[in-house]
Chain A
Amino acid sequence: MAETTGLVQRLTVGSSVSCVWIGPNPNNTTLLVVSDNGMAADVAFAASLVQTLASAATNYRSVAAIHGNNSSTITALRVDPV
């Protein structure tokens, strides 16, 4: 598993897929996505991820997004204490 840390520089929320740019500054970010498989539990989890990312973005909190080594899909998210 890989971990991308930084600020949420941009968050685009879509109906089925949300994209997020995470990195230390706007010119140095990693493109990651939040998606779900349509199942109720997965949809709820994806919504929770998006809400957490949005909160981190508005509060300038650093996040650590966990994803596969060769994948851009976020599987877990960590918000570290200030």
Chain B
Amino acid sequence: MNNGKPDGADTHRGELAEALSGVAESLSGSPRLTGGQIVVRQIGEHPATFVISEVDGTLSVADTQGMVDDADARVEILGDGQVLAAILRGDQDARDAFLAGGIRVRGDLRYFSDLAVAARILPTPL
């Protein structure tokens, strides 16, 4: 905090967390969900790690403070928090942002593609 205002870390972390929560809410109950954790890592000056987990068809977003076992991730996404948040909100095209650089995606890409299409982040499957 700085003079009562959130600093860059809090702002970026909150922005991405809010965007992730919005997507998680839209995907909850979707038949596309088949289990496994989705790990989203905010890279850069203020790193953060969020884990999206499914419990009984409902997705929840947790800020893990960096404490997450990579082996548990079915899909892992890394990138700048502001860019990722913009993509999740639909303010920025996912493909354009990915090709511009700074974003990495790994894991079960077919599952990622299915969820991204269901969440309307991607217009067509990868």
Contact at A31–B109, with CB atoms within 8 Å? Answer: yes
A70 near B104 with CB under 8 A, answer yes
Range for the number of chain A residues in contact with chain B: 10 to 19
* Cα(A30)–Cα(B126), bound, Å: 12
Given A31-B105, A31-B126, A70-B78, does the pair A26, B99 have CB atoms closer than 8 Å? no
Interface of chain B: mostly helix, strand, loop or mixed: mixed
Q: Does A17 lie within 8 Å of B104, measured CB to CB?
A: no
The answer, yes or no, to whether B31 is at the interface (CB within 8 Å) is no
B99 touches A17 (CB 8 A): yes
Among A1-52, those with CB < 8 Å from B are 4, 17, 19, 21, 23, 26-31, 33, 35
Distance, CA A31 to CA B112, complexed state (A): 11
Min distance, Cβ B111 to any Cβ of chain A, angstroms: 8
Shortest Cβ distance from residue B22 to the other chain A in the assembled complex, whole angstroms: 23
Q: List 5 A-B contacts (CB under 8 A).
A: A27-B108, A28-B107, A31-B104, A31-B109, A33-B99
A residues whose Cβ falls under 8 Å from a Cβ of B: 4, 17, 19, 21, 23, 26-31, 33, 35, 68, 70-73
